[in-house]
A and B are shown apart, each in its own frame.
Chain A
Amino acid sequence: MAGASMIGGLGLAARAQSAVTKPRDGAADVLDVAIVGAGLAGLTTARDLNRAGCQSFVVLEARDRVGGRTFNHDLGDGRVSEAGGQWIGPGQTAVVDLARELEVDTFPTYYAGKTVFLAGDARLAVDLHGTFGTDEKIAAKLNALARDVPSGAPWLAPNAAELDALSVGDWLAQQAIAPADRVGWDATVLLSGGATPAQMGLLHFLSMVNSAHSDYAQLDSIKDSAQETRFVGGSQILSIKMAKELDAHLRMTCPVRAITDWDGEVVSLHTDRGVVRARRVVMAIHPALCNRIDFSPNLPNERAMLQRHWPAYTPGRKTAMVYARPFWRDKGLNGHVLQAGGPVLWAYDNSPPDAAIGVINSFIQNGAVPSDPELATRMLTAIYARALGDDALTPQQYHDVDWGTCDTWTLTCVAAIPPRFWTTYGKALHPPCGRLIWSGTETADIWAGYMDGAVRAGHRSALQVLNSLGAHA
């Protein structure tokens, strides 16, 4: 069993107890650990430290909420719809174990029935049986290439330089994709990888396929795939429950503006609510957010360059349209809509498990839908009405999160790593800098960029901290 219990299993708990809580020389205000970021990774680290007997830590969160890139819209009556990361699938055992420990149940994503495709004035309804109708021959080629690309360190692939020189688009262009099939590849690369094919690095994309057991279908489908399962109460519930356990250690609305002396024995974190001093710091935020912090002394050049070039340009915008009931199900439709050319990239049934209300969530093109909620509702319901019927014209609620503009502490969705990035900057992703330990889903060995990766990174960071403190006790 992965997860926090692993710490006890490895016999680290006893050592941590003596090492971490032992009074040390120096000022009483010096903590053993400061964790930057109360998303899934940071809170998992904090929970592991707590369970290992370490009480000398704090979690610093810039926002007034926990959960990072997971967020639940409150639809009333205890029902929610997710605005950020929301699905889990086969092989994502770390987040499943965490959910089990937190007593969070799961339920299947709804896909029974026909998916609607829109292209110009054409409408087509097809039962895809839980897939997106991917070309299996192309997928098989991707699978074969992915087997040699380590998911957590793609730059170590034997042919890394050759693969990293190409975008996914460059590679697809060599596969003689029919014009009518291109829009499908545009959508699948964007939805899974976070960038359009011409901007997406092939090496990185293959590392994602590698996470999915080198089986593209396990990455980009619903059934038996990474979009298969949802959490009862929404994905943010995991962080909310962990935060409850750790309440005394959390400092909210507490952005870290500067970090000094990271190369010394005691690091100072300068926040909007004062200075925090700690012997170890876990940076549980993505590399582009690290650019918002002034480091003194400067970070090593390789790390600074990684952060500076980190692709933070795919903010993602996700909407939720709430209806009295999931009326599309009566018509044999699954509520899923794929619109060639947008503005809807993919709409899907995101109703709660009891289906007492109907929810259509959509990934939309940020600039192609008005920012004004009334105008956006009008545009989106007109599209849904074409796809699902006129009942779509009378929603009860509309929710909209553009992750690029909702606050300044997100910037971007998944990391859409471009060509030549990993072979140029990858080596600086993991190695600690002085007392700084780099965490966050981007550092995970498998399922990097996913919720599962965040939990894995959180566990690993806790072990790094405990080992490091123990070694120096």
Chain B
Amino acid sequence: MTRRIVIGVVVVVSVVAIVLGPQAFDYLRFERNLADAAKASEADGGAWPQRADECTLCHGHQGDSVNQVYADLAGQPAEYLAAQLHAFADGHRASPFMAPLAMTLNDGDVDRLSAHFARQTATNNDTFAPDAALSAQGKHLSGSCAACHGDRFMGRDRNPRLAGQGYDYLLAQMNAYADNTRSDPTGAMNALAAALSDVDRRAVATYLASYPVAENVEGDHESN
């Protein structure tokens, strides 16, 4: 039986190759890759089409942005992601982009999307070239961040991962905290950011953006 199927497949492929020429094999490989990608996507995020597809346009493949402007969602604590989506929807966090998008989500959507991106793998921010002097200054200023943002700045509970986050995004958030256009419910980030000069904020953003995510640490970054 198995032999018969194999022979059948070979005959079909041969016929396709004769009819379509060398492109037949390209076509079969193309179809196979699409089918494999569809299967992997379903296994990870459920039936096609998925709500998360809209998020990944700006936040990168599986939420791992390679663009310094857009926030990394991959590997962020689910609690943090859910809190942000609720904050965008109810106006506690202002964004002309995210507010109307978050308002289309119900609580179930928020929980599913948050869980989805929380389980994606974060990667190092390899598309950012840090200025060495600023990074050193940032290291000096970032000592207290881990208290809330977790070991190696990997995020915890309602506090996001900062390690490997986009530089422009980190800087924009610190600036927003400093001028109170973004509010931290505890007030801590507003006070901390306001106490930093413009250069200090750039230094902290540089250091954290280039900090390797925990799963990818080789050696001791702190001693570098």
Which residues of A are interface residues toward B (Cβ below 8 A)? 117, 119-125, 167, 169, 172-173, 177, 179-180, 182-183, 185-186, 190, 195-199, 288, 291-292, 308-315, 340-343, 365-372, 375, 402, 404-405, 411-412, 418-419
Contacts and interface: CB of A to CB of B under 8 A. Distances in A.
Contacts of B51: 198-199
Contacts of A405: 69
Contacts, number: 147
A128 B101 CA distance: 35
A199 B48 contact: no
B61 A368 contact: yes
Interface stretch (B22-30, B139-147, B213-221): B22-30
29 contacts: A117-B30, A121-B33, A122-B26, A123-B26, A172-B49, A179-B35, A179-B39, A180-B34, A182-B38, A182-B48, A183-B38, A185-B49, A196-B53, A196-B57, A199-B53, A199-B101, A199-B104, A309-B103, A313-B97, A313-B100, A343-B61, A365-B58, A366-B70, A367-B56, A370-B127, A371-B67, A372-B129, A402-B69, A412-B97
Nearest to B70: A367
A312 B100 contact: yes
Contacts of A315: 58, 97
B54 interface: yes
A311 B100 contact: yes
B97 A124 contact: no
Contacts of B57: 190, 196, 314, 365-367
Contact of A122 (B30, B100, B127): B30
A124 B30 contact: yes
A342 B49 contact: no
Contacts of B35: 179-180
A341 B30 CA distance: 13
B78 interface: no
B210 interface: no
Contact of B49 (A180, A197, A311, A371): A197
| B23, B61, B66, B67 interface centre (most CB from chain A within 10 Å) | B67
Given A173-B49, A198-B49, A291-B96, A180 B101 contact: no
A317 B35 CA distance: 28
A366 B97 contact: no
A290 to B, nearest CB: 11
Given A124-B30, A198-B50, A418-B104, A404 B58 contact: yes
Q: Which 8 A-B pairs have the closest CB atoms?
A: A179-B38, A367-B60, A169-B49, A120-B33, A367-B65, A196-B53, A122-B30, A370-B127
A288 B127 contact: no
Contacts of A412: 97
A124 B27 contact: yes
Given A312-B97, A365-B60, A418-B104, A371 B26 contact: no
B58 A119 contact: no
Contact of A186 (B49, B68, B98, B101): B49
Contacts of B33: 119-122, 340
A312 B102 CA distance: 11
A345 to B, nearest CB: 9
B19 interface: no
B201 interface: no
A371 B56 CA distance: 16
B111 interface: no
Given A309-B103, A367-B59, 5 more contacts: A120-B37, A122-B29, A367-B65, A368-B67, A371-B69
B98 to A, nearest CB: 7
A404 B98 CA distance: 12
Contacts of B60: 365, 367-368
B200 interface: no
A312 B96 CA distance: 7
Contacts of A123: 26, 30
B47 interface: yes
B198 interface: no
Contacts of B66: 367-370
Contact of B47 (A173, A199, A312): A173
A1 to B, nearest CB: 38
A338 to B, nearest CB: 11
A411 B97 contact: yes
Given A180-B38, A183-B34, A411 B96 contact: yes
Given A367-B57, A367-B67, A375-B127, A119 B34 contact: yes
Contacts of A291: 96
Contacts of B47: 173
B79 interface: no
Contacts of A314: 57
A202 to B, nearest CB: 12
A117 B33 CA distance: 12
Contacts of B49: 167, 169, 172-173, 182, 185-186, 196-198
